[in-house]
Amino acid sequence: MRRILVPTDFSDQARNAFEVAVAIAQKTGAAIKLLHVVEMPSSYSFSATGDLVGGNGMEQVYMMKLLENTRYRMAELERTIAHQGVEVVQEVDTDNVIRKIKRVISDDKVDLVVMGSKGSSGMDEFLIGSNTEKVVRTAACPVLTVKGRMPHFNIRNIVLASDFKREIGSAVEKFKYFQHVFGAKLHLVYINTPGAFESTNTLRLRMQTAAERYGLQNFTINVYNDTIEEDGILHFAEEMKADLVMMATHGRTGLSHLLSGSIAEDLVNHSNIPVLTFHLK
């Protein structure tokens, strides 16, 4: 792992994400980019010399003051989190948040995005979702979402939830890397629900076959019964005292996403345990 991206909106959750990113960087030798995106009206742009173009005089003064204050807050954020031995660079830009994050992932060849998640529920969740969910759905690299503060981020138990039917090989290699870096134990789990019930023997055989195919080590095989997949994953992870939940996501969008939702995005919204997702292409 060489590059970690931490988008920040200066919330407590984003600060927690930066703290976790530093802990990962100290173990892997990765550099961190702190990114804040200011969404400005489309009438604004920057000239070749970096001057703000667009709007009237007062609007330009306001926007320049906003950018100046943002850069000050970025410097303060970096200063308040100890990051000995970790290279941290800052970037403040004006763009659409999701578009800019996707561009940085591509241009900088980012290996991991670490983001804070506030979570949401009810109508707010249905209507707008969050930037974190959108990144989970579309990012070309793994995304680690963090809510609470974890000053001593250390992974000992990892839950890997899957149906073990679809090919998840590209995601498993990313997940195995995390397990190796932290020397953690991996707990494979299939959530057996009433609507898609299968016998325990059949499921355990499928999971064992998948574990052998992917070359997994230091793992357990678990079948957990619950009413819906998301609740089952959360309940199992809590029982295992998991430090991390990992899932591959197929990143459904549009009408398909609205009708069927995404278990990975639901977990990001509702789990207090960090969630590592990887979007399968």
pLDDT tens-place string over residues 127-180: 334 788 888 888 999 999 999 888 889 999 999 999 887 778 788 999 999 999
pLDDT of residue 218: 97
157-161 vs 244-249, strand pairing mode: parallel
Q: Give pTM, 2 decimals.
A: 0.87
Helix/strand/coil (H, E, C) string of 60-125?
Answer: HHHHHHHHHHHHHHHHHHHHHCCCCCCCEEEEEEECCHHHHHHHHHHHCCCCEEEEECCCCCHHHH
Q: 36-50, pLDDT tens digit by residue?
A: 998 765 555 554 444
246 by DSSP, 3-state: which?
strand
Report residue 71 CA to chain centroid gap: 24
pLDDT of residue 113: 97
pLDDT of residue 21: 97
| In the predicted structure, residue 51 carries a pLDDT above the cut 90 | no
pLDDT of residue 59: 66
Strand partners, 192: 225
Q: 224-244, pLDDT tens digit by residue?
A: 999 999 999 999 999 999 999
Contacts of 224 (CB under 8 A, 6+ apart): 189, 190, 191, 192, 232, 235, 236
Domains of the chain, start order: 3-146 (3.40.50.620), 157-279 (3.40.50.620)
Strand partners, 144: 114, 276
Phi, psi (degrees; rounded to nearest 5) at 86 = -115, 125
How would residue 120 be classed by pLDDT, with cut points 50, 70 and 90?
low
Query: What integer best gives the mean pLDDT of the chain?
Result: 85
Q: Is 93 exposed, middle or buried (0-12, 13-18, 19+ CB in 10 A)?
A: middle
Q: Are the C-beta atoms of residues 56 and 27 closer than 8 Å to each other?
A: no
**Long-range contacts formed by 45-48: CB under 8 A, 24+ apart:** 46/94
Strand partners, 169: none
